[in-house]
Structure 1
Amino acid sequence: MTTEHPFAQYVRILGKGPTLSRALTEEETYAAVSMILRGEVEPIQLGAFLCLIRVKTETPEELAGFARAARDSLVLPAGAPAVDLDWPSYAGKSRRLPFFLLSALLLAQHGTTVFMHGTEGHTAGRLFSGGALEALGVPVAATLEEAAAHLRARRFAYLPLAGMAPKLHEIIGLKSVLGLRNPVHTVARMLNPFGARCQIMGVAHPPYRDAHQKSAALLGQPYMAVFKGEGGEAERRPEKPCEVYTIADGVLGAEVWAPTAAGTTVRHDETLDVTRLTALWTGTAEDTEGRDVVIATTAVALKLLGRAQSHADAEELAAQLWRTRNTATLAGAA
């Protein structure tokens, strides 16, 4: 008699049929993903597991268990600095420049420590944050240790998933083999490796706001803002209302930000020229649309961080930070 592989139970739970299959509990997901990250599963099991979860859509409990196992696999550097805001960036941009990068750098220049993490190149035709930051002259970290050094030096760091969690990066890469996105595309956004008190997150599909909010609550995240952002990134579109799902001191809620640039014609660029971001920051070119995006996105972060109590105050403070930025540098804190 052949002994059953210990991972087979998790595939069976998910795939036993329309009446007998069920979602995994948080603890079952934690155990299954821990085995995956330790390299204790067969490739065929991994593929089946990822596809079965994806087809039925991940539950908050599964996302929380997956994220907790992934976090526990990370090795953080000793003496890592405290991070105020965790900012995942996993979608990439295809129709509009990543103005949200200027929002993150603006916050860093005015005293907020921001850690950004993401992936590079998983979808053709998109501009990803690492490449854009390098073009702006902002260094990209290769390891968590280097990211910690960047945070200490300039209050901002960007680290690709490949340098933070190589196994998760490898699993994301299975999209080209399986033909499907898998749960790691969702879970990677939730890693928050430095344990930042606040997380800001963008999603491409509105139902994922609820999933991220509820799974973050299960993980004990005290403050969070998640919304449908431009291109799937945490970038507010000021010409439209923006519904933000929140966690505030552990309490789940939602709020709608009114348009700040109603009637604006949205420009979709065939070529994403990063030099336009530099020109916007330095003030050498007029880009009202880009400025409005930066200020609107910064405002959501400021309210999340507790630096403003109302939407109006957050938008006014964001505009003030923009007016008083140090235009001479993008790479360093003020």
Structure 2
Amino acid sequence: MSIAPYLKEIGRGKDGARALSRAQSQDLMARLLDDQISDLEKGGFALAMRIKGETAEELAGFMDAVLPRMLALASPTPAVLLPCYNGARKLPALTPLLALLLAREGVPVLLHGFTRDAARVTSAQVLEALDLPPVDSAAAVQARWTTGQPAFLPLEVLHPSLARLLALRAVLGLRNPGHTLAKLLPAVPGALRVVNHTHPEYADSLSDYLTLSEATAMLLRGTEGEPVADPRRLPALKCFVRGQQDESFSVAAQGGSLLQVPTLPASTEASAAAGYIRATLAGELPVPEPILRQRDALLALRQTLAN
């Protein structure tokens, strides 16, 4: 069955496009994930949604289709989820540092995303340089957690059909709703999600979705698209408890002039980032204050799930 009726609604341009209902969105995404439509229709969907933007209701419907097709995972205590889909371009990839700081506190941490990027250094590569290579199964995630270490699960393992949707970017040169869904994935039931955005306009749509889905999550403007605070200046950390923004857990953005800037590796290479992370964990270098603030906020927010 063609998705032309859906494309007719969402493909009328920025001002003329109409949003799909949750049920329509679920049906459309299910067909995409099950490869029931042509490549031409996939391209039309990606371009139309890129121009229109997703509503919270559409994201909820898309996620209704995504969840049943995802690898089943479970955690004995609330996990923290760190979606890693961008990598380092100008600054070292320090999401692994945040993950290891949380794991030190006994938190099961799952990182998921891409293992390689032609133009960037990924968190997976940094973890591999730290002798924590990606895992390839649910059992391997559990085994890594048993050792008190974070686990990186490639999207191709966590959700193969969603990974294929994200792969359209290599053909079209544009992101599509799959990228947003990947960053929102509740990959482990009952987990605390760290959701990041790069463009300010996504802050509102993601906030609306987290409210609609009654999520417990932290939303921030990520560092080069990664779910970690900028080590030089703390961004706003918006914390949601069961869908409601909670100011008692949220942290305001750092203002004013920077009095002190942490010494960071000059290179973004995985080996340089790994060496820096080892030094900070060993106490040879201070952990950047914004990352410590993010860790502490996550630990406090996680308690709302544990109670």
TM, length-normalised to structure 2: 0.86
2:225: which partner in 1? 232
1:275: which partner in 2? 275
Distance in 1 of aligned mates of 2:14 and 2:134 = 46
Q: For the pair shown, which has the larger CA radius of gyration, 1 or 2?
A: 1
Q: Mark the CA change 1:258 to 1:13 in structure 2 (over 3 Å): closer, same or farther.
A: closer
What is the percent sequence identity of the aligned residues? 27
Q: Does 1:115 align with 2:107?
A: no
Q: Does 1:250 align with 2:246?
A: no
Q: Does 1:297 align with 2:297?
A: no
Q: Does 1:22 align with 2:18?
A: yes
Distance in 1 of aligned mates of 2:224 and 2:8 = 36
Distance in 2 of aligned mates of 1:143 and 1:215 = 29
TM-superposed CA distance for 1:166, in Å, is: 1.4
Count of aligned residue pairs for this structure pair = 297
TM-superposed CA distance for 1:253, in Å, is: 4.8
Distance in 1 of aligned mates of 2:94 and 2:231 = 12
Deviations 1:176-205, CA, capped at 9 Å, x for gaps: 211211111111011122123421122212
The code of the aligned residue for 1:160 comes to P
Q: Does 1:159 align with 2:156?
A: no
Q: Mark the CA change 1:143 to 1:293 in structure 2 (over 3 Å): closer, same or farther.
A: same
Deviations 1:15-71, CA, capped at 9 Å, x for gaps: 246776311122211111011112211111111011101111121222222222111
Q: Mark the CA change 1:139 to 1:18 in structure 2 (over 3 Å): closer, same or farther.
A: closer
Q: Name structure 1 gaps, 5 residues minimum.
A: 308-334
TM-superposed CA distance for 1:109, in Å, is: 2.1
Q: Does 1:97 align with 2:97?
A: no
Deviates more, 1:233-242 or 1:92-101: 233-242
Aligned ranges 1:70-109 → 2 under 5 Å: 70-76=66-72, 81-109=76-104
Distance in 2 of aligned mates of 1:256 and 1:85 = 18
TM-superposed CA distance for 1:142, in Å, is: 1.4
2:7 to 11, 23, 37: 11
TM-superposed CA distance for 1:293, in Å, is: 4.3
Q: Does 1:306 align with 2:303?
A: yes
1:220: which partner in 2? 214
Deviates more, 1:149-158 or 1:171-180: 149-158
Q: Does 1:58 align with 2:51?
A: no
TM-superposed CA distance for 1:241, in Å, is: 4.8
TM-superposed CA distance for 1:167, in Å, is: 1.7
TM-superposed CA distance for 1:275, in Å, is: 2.0
Query: Is contact 1:81-1:152 (8 Å) kept?
Result: no
Q: RMSD of the TM alignment (CA)?
A: 2.6
Deviations 1:125-162, CA, capped at 9 Å, x for gaps: 31111111111011321133422332344363210111
Query: Is contact 2:87-2:120 (8 Å) kept?
Result: yes
Q: Does 1:198 align with 2:192?
A: yes
Distance in 2 of aligned mates of 1:92 and 1:81 = 29
Give the 3-state SS of the residue equivalent to 1:154 in structure 2: coil
Q: Name structure 2 gaps, 5 residues minimum.
A: none
Distance in 2 of aligned mates of 1:18 and 1:262 = 39
The code of the aligned residue for 1:90 comes to Y
TM-superposed CA distance for 1:252, in Å, is: 2.7
Q: Mark the CA change 1:174 to 1:19 in structure 2 (over 3 Å): closer, same or farther.
A: closer
1:126: which partner in 2? 120
Q: Does 1:32 align with 2:28?
A: yes
Distance in 1 of aligned mates of 2:14 and 2:252 = 41
Distance in 1 of aligned mates of 2:204 and 2:145 = 30
2:41 to 39, 45, 50: 45
